[in-house]
Structure 1
Amino acid sequence: MNILVIDDDPAVRKFITTILKKENHTVFEADNGKTGLQLLQEQHDIPVVITDIVMPEKEGIETIMEMRSQYPAIKILAISGGGKVGPENYLVLADALGAHTTLKKPFSGPELLLSLKLLQ
């Protein structure tokens, strides 16, 4: 399966990508929502997006809202380590705005894969 991973932290993207590739997924990477949405325009066969919430340029909440509008069939896993208000608040908002499931950072490989299975 093709999966787009959007996160501004290169270490987090590498961690997620490594786990997904071990499960034979094809992974596309973006460092913010703007780049992620551009990739979705270019690649029409991405059924799942894993997106961080707190990012520069275009943050995750805005990205989720645009994906829900432009690509309603895409399944979204929102991830967040929080920020000033803590991850729970961001993830509740992401869920309310269209994320199909959420995952609080830090998370393990098995937790990521379980969350991904919930999308299928």
Structure 2
Amino acid sequence: MSAILVVDDDKSLRDLLSVVLRERGHDVETAEEGNAALELMLRTRFEMVISDIIMPGKEGMETIKEIRALYPEVQIIAMSTGGSMGNSQVLEYARMIGAHESIRKPVELPNLITTVERMLS
């Protein structure tokens, strides 16, 4: 069982991922943007962060950079639809700045579960 933080401004996606990951035996916390995520990380040790890239407040790229600098052992999965830059460019950049994996939105749950389990094993 691992502690996972899901960061996304879409409440329905946060809730869905939280339920799916809890069903797999993980402890899950959620945050709606990067500042809230970093606050949670001060109080709780997470093995993994799954973060959207495009969010209001502190966006995902900046959040990933800070997590990588402060908590280098944490596994990071970046998620995005890509916005105006395009999906593959955004996710490639997320990997360059510290994400270990990237997943395109809309999220395919079997792919996410496989990726999470592989990264945490």
TM-score of the pair, normalised by structure 2: 0.94
Q: Which amino acid aligns with 2:82?
A: G
> What is the DSSP-based 3-state SS (H/G/I as helix, E as strand, rest coil) of the residue aligned with 2:85?
coil
The answer on whether the counterparts of 1:103 and 1:115 sit within 8 Å (CA) in structure 2 is no
> What is the DSSP-based 3-state SS (H/G/I as helix, E as strand, rest coil) of the residue aligned with 1:84?
helix
Looking at structure 2, the residues matched to 88 and 18 of structure 1 have their Cα atoms a distance apart, in angstroms, of 27
- Structure 1: stretches of 5+ with no match in the other structure: none
The 5-angstrom pairing of residues 1-120 of structure 1 reads: 1-43=2-44, 45-120=45-120
4+ aligned runs moved over 3 Å, structure 1: none
The answer on whether the counterparts of 1:49 and 1:75 sit within 8 Å (CA) in structure 2 is yes
What is the RMSD of the two structures over their aligned residues, measured on CA atoms? Answer: 0.9
- Structure 2: stretches of 5+ with no match in the other structure: none
> What is the DSSP-based 3-state SS (H/G/I as helix, E as strand, rest coil) of the residue aligned with 2:51?
strand
TM-score of the pair, normalised by structure 1: 0.95
Number of aligned residue pairs: give it. Answer: 119
Displacement of 1:48: 0.4
Displacement of 1:118: 3.1
Looking at structure 2, the residues matched to 36 and 97 of structure 1 have their Cα atoms a distance apart, in angstroms, of 18
Identity, in percent, stands at 38
